[in-house]
Structure 1
Amino acid sequence: MNQLELQNVSFSYNEKKSILKNINLSFQEGKIYAITGKSGAGKTTLLSLLSLLQKPVSGDIYYCDKNLKEMDPYKYRSTQIGVIFQSYNLLPLLNAVENVMLSMDIASLKDVDKKKHAIELLEKVGLNEEDIYRPIRKLSGGQQQRVAIARAMSYSPSLILADEPTGNLDSDTEKDILSIFQKFAHEDNKCIIIVTHSPSVTKVADYVYRL
């Protein structure tokens, strides 16, 4: 069964300019997908559709055989998918653990030691004990991206959407982040969709879709 499937999806902001036209794509669990294309091709728009921030003008998108039109957008975004932004979108006055725990609160995660789970995730993405209690504003870009990944994974979504997640990182840090994505996809069976301009990302992806 496909994790996500797009059937004849089109999107435009006005009648004169079509951003996406009759897109048919499928995504499966345990795989990394890279979405590439020129600026303005609709890559970020596609992520907005997949995360229910926008709705297609025509066509249908299915998540585990359920039409997104019939799903509650807030519940879908807070429990079924994790989103990773290029700008991280972390709360700067909180530390790494608090940022991850807040995400679990929003997802109404129960019957779990949230602090313990947050620490385990942060360690899994490569942060040490000192860093996980450091305020976000005092962490490097690479460290903040690791926190963003841990936050996205905190409620165990089956699908991860990432918008240029390595765009602001140096090559060594990019390799580390991509290694984390590979482990989540191939070992934890997550479906990871990455919008990117980076050749390094396309090299590690199982599939590359060009818009």
Structure 2
Amino acid sequence: MIRLLRWLLKGALVFVAVTVLWVGLYRFVPPPFTATMLGDVIGGHGVAKSWMPLSRMDPAMARAAIAGEDGHFCMHHGFDFKAIEGAVYRNEKGGRIRGGSTISQQTAKNAFLFQGGGYPRKAVEAYFTVLIEALWGKRRIMEVYLNIAETGIGTYGANAASQRYFGHDASHLTPTEAGRIAAVLPLPKKRAAIDPHGFVRSHGNVLARYVGVVRRGGLDGCLR
């Protein structure tokens, strides 16, 4: 039993050391590939991605993401417990399942883990969320998120999405364009930002209006 405990302790220490180094590396180096991208390749899709630093990306994109995905991004430390409680309450009522994941949690999952996996994956996701909040800070979290989040089938990041849907890079996005990209984020396999009808158009237009609200309210203050 003592020998087993020693092996478990050594394994835990190795895991912590490797993951801290991994997260620390991505603080400075763009994640080259993700498990979700690998899934697209295995499924026969190509992968379109084009890294753009947050400093070059139009601020409307981050504001639209905050409006659509995580209104308290600059105020929490990785977890929005009120949003989680709200998601649990809504899901208990039935209907469409909704999550309470923050942008930090989504970034941890996208960069280091995989889709699915249930509660065990969520537990490891929480661990990586704590690490990126501690080692990266908010600007880097948003930068990585907006460059590796799935924005369409085989399309990753806001810059690749802007090039695919609007014919120009993400350095100059209108609020409407940013809102439509943000509207794709929850279901990227089923939505396209160039869709002139349906949910993406209506929800994207709502997010476009909230871009100004985020700016005026200072909800993106941690990114400035």
The question of a shared fold, defined as TM-score above 0.5 by the shorter chain, is answered with: no
TM-score normalised over the length of structure 2 = 0.23
TM-score normalised over the length of structure 1 = 0.24
Higher strand share: 1
Q: Which structure is larger by alpha-carbon Rg, 1 or 2?
A: 2
Higher helix share: 2
